[in-house]
């Protein structure tokens, strides 16, 4: 291929076609990405670790494989991984000082599956420490910048993944989503991001934050890429006891179909107060476009939406406080120096190793699980979780999927909300209920605001109906047309 600079603009499916036809080699593509990372990443700061040597070796392997006639959709395609996914022999930091020098002795199941397809890993992407945050400002190392406006946050916690895809320093990426951590940065970075149904993708090797809510998912340039990447990572895994044993359909077969009377619910509680005008009008335009093209739009109600954030901020920190007790300086990770005895070693290690937001959530979770408070907090929140899930299931008796905003505002300025944790938590109001109910949700670029900032639209489907999201998402994407050229940088 004569002009290598255009390679980084291609989607997975475009690149895959060229690779299969041997019009370009994986080595050429990988080199193009590594060059662009060197040129652009100092501005965006999406990567914690770039694995150039390993990537080039994997690319050569992929080229051999393609030459032998063994080509799969991701063979030779350069992908970035959120630094919460264990990668054998490659540091996995969770953007935390406590895991700064941790090199996992095994691969997460999703990593093993992508390797098996011959994907090329470019490196590990920045995030909020232990995936706790909505802006990537909680990384212990550095904040990532939004490629559309470098003084703004890329969203979080998978901010490095969102920024890398938008900045074209990864063809696609994996993120993880506990309360919106894939969909919100996808919205803020103008890319597609899906949180699959809880159980659809194995969590083995995903560093645990809140085990009943965490889910790994794709972040891509378009919906077709999302379907391709989901095909590769989805499916039963005996190493994850909550993994779903049912069939995995070919998600690409849901692409590009007519809407044909699809019933799309508009939950009235997701509109109105607290949502910025530019966001609301963009979502309303998306709704009209779908209606004009064959969808049946129905107003529905999710009456307990306003309780979701409160329930989440009991459940997620409670699970986190329990999961993070493992960081004690004994088996792996940081061990502080200068301690007096065993108890002091635990305290010094954890106090030096964790950042403020992680400590805040450990404290909140420890408090709500402590003796005498369990019924008032954790049990109460788990009951409210049932009510929120029932709201969704009732809505799905009247419609095939829901359409909502992803975030109430476009990406805000770096530093704007760091001093007010509660305000930061409230920005996840439209994504958190989906995790509590264990549903699949997708964020798709919808518009740019007057200031040129991306706004995403969210579709939510019943459990294990990711195919519905791919169907409505790809059709919407086609009707919408291109939003804007990728940011120059």
Partner 1 sequence: MKISREEVLHVAELARLKFSNEEIDLFSRQLNDILVYIEKLNELDTEAVPATTHAHELKNRFRDDASSPSLSPEKALENAPEKEGSQFVVPRII
Catalytic residue list:
82, 157, 181
Q: Is 364 near partner 1 (CB under 8 A)?
A: yes
382 binds partner 1 (CB under 8 A): yes
To partner 1, the closest distance from the beta carbon of 240 in angstroms equals 10
Separate counts of helices (H) and strands (E) for the chain: 15, 11
CB nearer to partner 1: give 255 or 381.
381
Binding mask 408-437 for partner 1 (x = CB under 8 A): -------------xx--x----------xx
Q: Which of 50, 12, 41, 46 is nearest to 29 (CA)?
A: 12
Using CB under 8 A as the binding rule, whether residue 270 contacts partner 1 is answered as no
> CB-based contacts of 2: which residues, under 8 Å, 6+ apart?
none
Exactly one of 11, 20, 301, 339 binds partner 1 (CB under 8 A); which one?
A: 339
Binding-site member from 362, 399, 447, 461 for partner 1 (CB under 8 A)? 362
Asked whether position 137 contacts partner 1 by CB under 8 A, the answer is no
Q: How far is the CB of 382 from partner 1 (least distance, A)?
A: 4
Residue with smaller CB distance to partner 1, 102 or 271: 102
Binding track, positions 186-225, relative to partner 1; x by CB under 8 A: -----------xxx------------xx------------
d(CA 40, CA 451): 22
- Judged by CB under 8 A, which of 36, 113, 145, 350 binds partner 1? 350
- Token readout for 297 is 């739009």
* First-last CA distance in the chain: 24
Query: For residue 206, what is the enclosing H or E element?
Result: none
Q: Does 313 bind partner 1 (CB under 8 A)?
A: yes
Interaction between residue 334 and partner 1 (CB under 8 A) = yes
**Residue 314 makes contact with partner 1 by CB under 8 A:** yes
Shortest Cβ distance from residue 224 to partner 1 (Å)?
28
181 scored as a contact of partner 1 (CB under 8 A): no
- Window contacting partner 1 (CB under 8 A); options: 171-179, 234-242, 261-269, 285-293: 234-242
Among 5, 68, 341, 397, binds partner 1 (CB under 8 A): 341
**Is residue 213 classed as helix, strand or coil in its secondary structure?**
coil
**461 touches partner 1 (CB under 8 A):** no
Which contiguous run of DSSP H or E holds residue 402?
A: strand 401-405
Report CA Rg, the chain.
21
Euclidean distance between CA atoms 82 and 49, whole angstroms: 10
Does position 328 interact with partner 1 (CB under 8 A)? The reply is yes
Interaction between residue 49 and partner 1 (CB under 8 A)? no
Count residues binding partner 1 (CB under 8 A). 69
Phi, psi of 442 (to 5 degrees): -135, 140
DSSP per residue, 40-79: HHHHH--EEEE-HHHHHHHHHHHHHHHHTT---TTTT-EE
The bridge status of strand 215-220 relative to strand 192-195 is antiparallel
Q: φ, ψ for residue 63 (rounded to 5)? A: -65, -40
Q: What is the C-alpha separation between 400 and 467, in angstroms, rounded? A: 11
Q: Look up tokens 């005008």; give the residue.
A: 277
151-163 exposure pattern, b = at least 16 Cβ within 10 A, e = fewer:
ebbbbbbbbbbbb
Applying CB under 8 A, the span of 121-129, 161-169, 311-319, 399-407 interacting with partner 1 comes to 311-319
**Scanning the structure block, which residue is given the tokens 């400590």?**
359
Structure tokens at 362: 């450990």
Chain residues binding partner 1 by CB under 8 A are 102-103, 105-106, 197-199, 212-213, 238, 241-242, 244, 304, 306-307, 309-311, 313-314, 321, 325, 328-335, 339, 341-343, 345-348, 350-351, 354, 359-360, 362-364, 366-367, 370, 377, 379-387, 389, 421-422, 425, 436-439, 463
């Amino acid at each position: 291929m004569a002009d290598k600079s255009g390679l980084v603009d291609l989607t997975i499916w475009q690149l895959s076609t060229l690779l299969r036809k041997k019009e370009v080699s994986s080595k050429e593509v990988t080199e193009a990405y590594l060059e662009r990372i060197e040129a652009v990443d100092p501005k965006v700061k999406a990567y914690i670790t770039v694995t150039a040597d390993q990537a080039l070796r994997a690319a050569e392997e992929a080229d051999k494989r393609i030459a032998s006639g063994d080509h799969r959709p991701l063979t030779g395609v350069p992908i970035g991984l959120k630094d919460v996914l264990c990668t054998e022999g490659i540091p996995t930091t969770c953007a935390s000082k406590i895991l700064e020098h941790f090199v996992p002795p095994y691969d997460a199941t999703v990593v093993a599956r992508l390797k098996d397809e011959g994907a090329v890993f470019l490196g590990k992407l920045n995030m909020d420490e232990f995936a706790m945050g909505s802006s990537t400002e909680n990384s212990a190392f550095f904040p990532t910048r939004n490629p559309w406006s470098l003084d703004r946050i890329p969203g979080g916690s998978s901010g490095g993944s969102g920024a890398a895809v938008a900045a074209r320093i990864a063809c696609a990426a994996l993120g993880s989503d506990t309360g919106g951590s894939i969909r919100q940065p996808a919205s803020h970075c103008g890319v597609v991001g899906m949180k699959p149904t809880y159980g659809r993708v194995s969590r083995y090797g995903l560093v645990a934050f809140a085990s009943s809510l965490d889910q790994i998912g794709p972040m891509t340039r378009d919906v077709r890429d999302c379907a391709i990447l989901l095909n590769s990572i989805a499916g039963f895994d005996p190493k994850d006891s909550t993994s779903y044993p049912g069939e995995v359909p070919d998600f690409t077969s849901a692409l590009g179909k007519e809407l044909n009377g699809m019933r799309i619910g508009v939950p009235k509680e997701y509109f109105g107060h607290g949502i910025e005008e530019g966001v609301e009008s963009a979502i309303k335009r998306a709704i009209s476009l779908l209606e004009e093209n064959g969808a049946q739009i129905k107003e529905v109600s999710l009456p307990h939406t306003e309780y979701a954030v409160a329930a989440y901020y009991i459940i997620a920190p409670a699970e986190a406080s329990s999961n993070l007790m493992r960081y004690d300086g004994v088996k792996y990770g940081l061990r502080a120096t200068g301690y007096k005895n065993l108890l002091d070693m635990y305290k010094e290690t954890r106090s030096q190793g964790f950042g403020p937001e992680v400590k805040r959530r450990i404290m909140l979770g420890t408090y709500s699980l402590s003796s005498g408070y369990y019924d008032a907090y954790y049990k109460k929140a788990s009951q409210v979780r049932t009510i929120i899930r029932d709201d969704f299931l009732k809505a799905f008796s009247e419609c095939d999927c829901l359409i909502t905003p992803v975030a109430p505002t476009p990406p805000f300025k770096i530093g704007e909300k760091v001093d007010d944790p509660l305000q930061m938590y409230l920005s996840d109001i439209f994504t958190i209920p989906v995790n509590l109910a264990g549903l699949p949700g997708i964020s798709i670029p919808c518009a740019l605001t007057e200031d040129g900032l991306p706004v995403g639209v969210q579709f939510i489907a019943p459990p294990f109906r990711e195919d519905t999201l791919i169907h409505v998402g790809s059709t919407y994407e086609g009707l919408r047309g291109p939003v804007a050229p990728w940011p120059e940088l």
